[in-house]
Structure 1
Amino acid sequence: MAQVDSYTVDLPFDILPMIFKHLSTPDIRSCALANKEYHAAALPSLWSHVYVSIRYPPSLLSCSVLLVLDT
């Protein structure tokens, strides 16, 4: 069984978001999966890195589909 370092458990909750600011998105995601406290601290950092891409399937761009959706 892996040994858990006790100093990571004793970190104050307010320090965790400051640490997460210096991590990459995949690393923050890994931290969020570690335990409930890290998950709660990591969520704001993860949401600050959300990228939205609007890509519609070609069928949704046709006028006939848009007319059906409008009715």
Structure 2
Amino acid sequence: MERKKDRNNRRKCFVSIAPNASKRIERMEAEILLPISNLVKKSSLLKTRAWVELFRKIEKEIDKNRNCSLVP
């Protein structure tokens, strides 16, 4: 990750993913998503829908907690 301070406002900073990190993230996503994809291909429609619903619930919880502040 790269972090840069805002020249106009010292309280702000910009965080971005470094170009070399993007490739690592893509590789990690593939490592995670490929087994899930293989699992779905081997499952019935009912089980696949259950997995999709589970992922939606996980996403909802992540989004709900995204606004929380971390306390050191």
With normalisation by structure 2, the TM-score equals: 0.25
Q: Say which structure is richer in strand.
A: 2
Q: Say which one has the larger Rg.
A: 1
With normalisation by structure 1, the TM-score equals: 0.25
Q: Which has the higher contact order (CA 8 A, sep 6+)?
A: 1
